[in-house]
Amino acid sequence: MPVGRREASPGQCKSKPGTLRRKSFGQWAARPAFSRCRCVRTRGRCRLQGICFWKKARRLFWADPDLSEAFLMLVLGIESSCDETAASVVQDGRVALSDVVSSQIEIHRRYGGVVPELASRNHVMQVIPVVEEALSKAGVTLSDLDAIAVTSGPGLIGALLVGVQTAKALAWCSQKPLVGVNHLEGHLLAIRLLEDAPEPPFMGLVVSGGHTSLFDVRSFGDYRPVGSTRDDAAGEAYDKVAKMLGLPYPGGLPIDRLAKEGNPKAIRFPRANIKGDGAEFDFSFSGLKTAVRAWVEKNGCPEGQGLCDLCASFQEAVADPLTRKAVLAARRLGHQKVVLAGGVAANSRLRGLMQERARSAGLSLFLPPIRLCTDNGAMIAVAGTHAFLRGERAGMDLSASPGWHLGTPQPRKTFG
């Protein structure tokens, strides 16, 4: 293999035009005209870095000497759908060269939830510094990018608009292609940043502050909704229950911590039994939230062990239907793999119970690391890379679509 080996040290790798094989990646894959290769170390591995010339254009590429596979795609992902301003540069849809997240949690904490107007204003202040940091940490400039991807829905309208308008301005001034990404597709594909990432088809469960949905992921770009919450999202239930118990916002982590010391069988909270055609895989958490409120009104807000027991019992009532229905849906649709995604996927009991149930059903479970569960720019860049490879392009009329359902085309312009 003329492209060097893993143990090659910087300066020793040699690459000849036409010697690298690649899997796909558009027109560039068909024209291997590499030059100016040098060996550099990234993430402890030896890699070739080079410039590819074709039709007077110039692309930066990376090649892994072990895989003899060139990485041609560099996509910037921008996320601002709720209370995180985030940007990341992802190479080849698989490796995050940078991942910068500016969280507004401290700003919204005093109100016990996200205040949309404050969120938008803070995105305006943060978005440019966050994008600049993402580019500089990745060691690239706008001109090295292949595309710019941005969350264009669903989310808070004002918050989404900040990201969308920023991405449009960057794409316009750098003459780079622009791609609008559905936030939920981003969550589902965050798992692609793992080294042993699953390929579709798989059953995807997105559980976050704003969404709780099961998707039949047939291929990249083919997402079919199987079930979703009828009312509150699971993360929303966590945040509201935490507020009732006097715990800080966002409520997921404090409840998770207290629940570890509690007895999940102490209080039997209800599990919603949703009936009707096609409702088998739907969820509901608003009854559970009301049951916790009723319990607190009757018994008073517990402290010490009582608080831990209440948190553990609530957490069990969230994790139980989520895991049961995800496994059932995977088996029903003949999937071998299940992917958990979204902020609530960071929950220790949900992860543990999902592991138990997936194992006994003979399913392979893929759990993103905690930092990839909550909102980030890397997941948007990954989803953007796939959308770009599918040929999707947004124009300067790209709009923010607060109610965009994954699996349907983005609604036509209403804002922005």
Give the residues lining the site for ligand ADP (CB under 6 A): 82, 208-211, 235, 238-239, 250-253, 256, 342-344, 346-347, 374-375
Q: Which structure tokens are listed for 341?
A: 């995604």
Query: What type of residue sits at position 247?
Result: L
Could you tell me how far CA 24 lies from the centroid of its own chain? Answer: 23
Count Cβ atoms within 10 A of the Cβ of residue 270 and give its class: 0-12 exposed, 13-18 middle, 19 or more buried: exposed
In whole angstroms, give the CA distance from residue 404 to residue 416: 15
Q: Measured from the CB atom, is 52 or 318 closer to ligand ADP?
A: 318
Scan residues 199-238 and list those touching Mg ion (CB under 5 A).
208
Q: Measured from the CB atom, is 208 or 229 closer to Mg ion?
A: 208
Binds 198: which of ligand ADP, Mg ion, none (CB < 5-8 Å by kind): none
Binds 252: which of ligand ADP, Mg ion, none (CB < 5-8 Å by kind): ligand ADP
In whole angstroms, give the CA distance from residue 137 to residue 146: 17
CB of 234 to Mg ion, least distance (A): 12
Q: Measured from the CB atom, is 166 or 208 closer to Mg ion?
A: 208
Binds 347: which of Mg ion, ligand ADP, none (CB < 5-8 Å by kind): ligand ADP
In whole angstroms, give the CA distance from residue 229 to residue 392: 29
Q: Measured from the CB atom, is 65 or 368 closer to ligand ADP?
A: 368
CB of 131 to ligand ADP, least distance (A): 19
Scan residues 348-377 and list those touching Mg ion (CB under 5 A).
375
CB of 148 to ligand ADP, least distance (A): 21
CB of 210 to ligand ADP, least distance (A): 3
In whole angstroms, give the CA distance from residue 153 to residue 286: 24
Count residues contacting Mg ion (CB under 5 A)? 2
CB of 370 to ligand ADP, least distance (A): 8
Q: Which structure tokens are listed for 81?
A: 């759908």
Query: What type of residue sits at position 395?
Result: G
Give the chain's radius of gyration (CA, Å).
Answer: 23
CB of 379 to ligand ADP, least distance (A): 10
* Close Cβ partners of 216 (under 8 Å, ≥ 6 residues apart): 201, 203, 204, 223, 224, 225, 226, 329, 333, 335
Q: Site residues (CB under 5 A) for Mg ion?
A: 208, 375
